[in-house]
A and B are shown apart, each in its own frame.
Chain A
Amino acid sequence: MRSRIYLPLLIFIAALIGVQQITSYTGTAYYLTQLTMAAYYCLVIVGLCLMIGYAGQISLGHAGFFAIGGYLSAFLTTYDLTPMKDDRIISFLAKAGFLWTREDLYGGQMLIFQPWAACIAAVLSAVLIAYVIGGPVLKLKGHYLAMATLGFGTIVYRIVLGMTALGGADGLSDVPPFKILPFLEVSGEMSDRVQNYYIAWGLVVVAVFLSLNLIHSRIGRALRSIHGAEDAANAMGIDTARYKLYTFVLSAAFASVAGVFLTHYNGGIGPSEASIMKSVRYVAIVAVGGMANLWGAVVMGTLLNFLSLRGYFGTYDDAVFGAILIVIMLFVPRGLLHMDIVRDLKALLSGRDEEAV
């Protein structure tokens, strides 16, 4: 049983290495840039797939968690603390090794947070916020849950757009590279392109590994039962509220990690990352992938984000994802990568009503 679960993961890893090799032999290594960015969006989608597909809880606010991660790490690693360096807390942080000095664009010295410290602070904040809002919000069901999470996403969007400290409409830029290990650095440098491809996809592989374990466990079964009949699951001794909350927090953690890393990779973050259309896009991709289909979400997440980032959808980018969501919901509610896709198509062509998911 175990090998059957991990085999696709091995194929996936082989495919990732294969793609990188092909781009290097064919001189198309520039594709790696968009593939790296697509990987970070995939990370959000993997978490959201657990939330929507398995636990059966919609979230239209996950761009918010991505933005919390990205903006917090961007802010902490660019905000100069030099004027406050005599402050007790700041000097304590400096002594504890959380701060470092860096040259700014004009050659001046800046006292800023270490990317590691900023990353941990950003992810912990996102997790804490998810935990606090998840408690009350996840009591809601269906449309009401969608509205509440949409509200959360909107709040985050308006905050990052409105706060001058976060750069307003320009966002934050000049975010330093993130040295994970002495030889591994998240940065947009051309020379680091290959290693960044592997860092990003390595994170996705880890997230998929953790998620696969989860969905094939006692907990994953419990999540599916909550999706199917929440009251019955509760009557079987499952603390449904707690499991929903944990899944929400986990998916928020994945989203915020993605936000942190992509921000360091791009060297900045803008308010569009927090926009509602981003959240809708994530949900659309989970739907195209087939909701309770982790691999479907990963494959479609890679493909659609890559096409979008390469600019194939042009100015209609957001419209494309909106249209995808409508078409999928109407015609193939079980997603494009479902085992029974042939049967679904036949049913569709013969004009029979599809069973709604």
Chain B
Amino acid sequence: MRLLDVRGLSKRFGGLQAVSGVSFGVSEGAIKALIGPNGAGKTTLFNLISGFLTPDTGAVLFHERPIQGLRPYEIARRGIARTFQHIRLFPKMTSIENVMIGRHLHGKTGFVSAMLGLPGIWREDRGAKERSLEVMEFLGISGLADQEATSLSYGQQRLVELARALACEPGLLLLDEPAAGLNMRETAEMASMISKVRDKGIAILIVEHDMSLVMNISDEIVVLNYGEKVADDTPLAVQKHKEVVRIYLGEEE
């Protein structure tokens, strides 16, 4: 069954057609990759799905309900969490506090009850902290819980950001270049983490430039070029796809 269904999505910035009529789907529990040369519209597509941009035309269905045009926080509440190409951790907050922000949408404490300091609030907060620690444990970074998140190494920051997104308990996780800036060992570690996340039943849509990572973990790959979909198939088929080979390697003489 299709968890996410993207139908004929288009977005124009002035004279640039960033995304034009792209359709694809993500099945429950699958890893789908989105690849293409720089400027192919991958991040734009991500921002359209996660609500940071509103599409000009087309629809995005999640659990068969339209979500295009909703605000990012509403989409997050529907069960789509994301990470960012340029790490967006909260400065001056510890790793665990960062991850606890991911638990926010599972909390109930409102503005007024928080101010009054009612007893239930502290219980809820303890629960959020425990759940956040579990997620960090799952990714093997619970040891970093009390360190300031933005002081960690780049690779660790990527994992904290992943933990924060996982703490939302999403049905679909959007990863925007999770291996960017990581060395080979860290990239391999990230790949195994992503597979581990999928094994929990979370579907993943990933934008990535690292081809070995993409080919290893993806179930299906969508190839974009100049905002248009070129291919949508299994990794093996995509590697043999004529048009894809042309885009990546150039014309044969």
Contact = CB atoms under 8 A, between A and B. Distances in A.
B194 interface: no
B90 A218 contact: no
B121 A228 contact: no
Interface stretch (B8-16, B81-89, B135-143): B81-89
Contacts, number: 105
Contact of A236 (B115, B125, B164): B164
Given A214-B115, A220-B114, A236 B89 contact: no
A1 B93 CA distance: 17
Interface stretch (A16-24, A59-67, A237-245): A237-245
A231 B52 contact: yes
Interface string A206-232: 000111011001111110110011011
A236 B81 contact: yes
Interface stretch (B17-25, B60-68, B99-107): B99-107
B73 A234 contact: yes
A235 interface: yes
Contacts of A229: 88-91
Nearest to B126: A1
Contact of A224 (B81, B84, B90, B117): B90
Contacts of B92: 224, 228, 292
Given A232-B84, A234-B72, A217 B91 contact: no
* Interface range on chain A (Cβ under 8 Å from partner): 20 to 34
A228 B109 contact: no
Given A224-B92, A228-B92, A233 B114 contact: no
B38 to A, nearest CB: 22
Contact of B91 (A2, A209, A214, A228): A228
Contacts of B90: 224-225, 228-229, 232-233
Given A236-B101, A236-B102, A246 B122 contact: no
A213 B88 contact: no
- For A221, A224, A233, the residue with the greatest tally of chain B CB atoms inside 10 Å of its CB is A221
Contacts of B82: 235
26 contacts: A209-B117, A213-B116, A217-B121, A217-B125, A218-B114, A218-B128, A219-B111, A219-B114, A222-B101, A225-B90, A225-B93, A228-B89, A229-B90, A231-B52, A233-B90, A235-B50, A235-B72, A236-B73, A236-B104, A236-B168, A237-B73, A238-B73, A238-B101, A238-B104, A239-B71, A250-B111
Given A214-B111, A217-B114, A225-B98, 8 more contacts: A209-B117, A213-B121, A218-B114, A218-B125, A224-B97, A232-B89, A233-B90, A234-B76
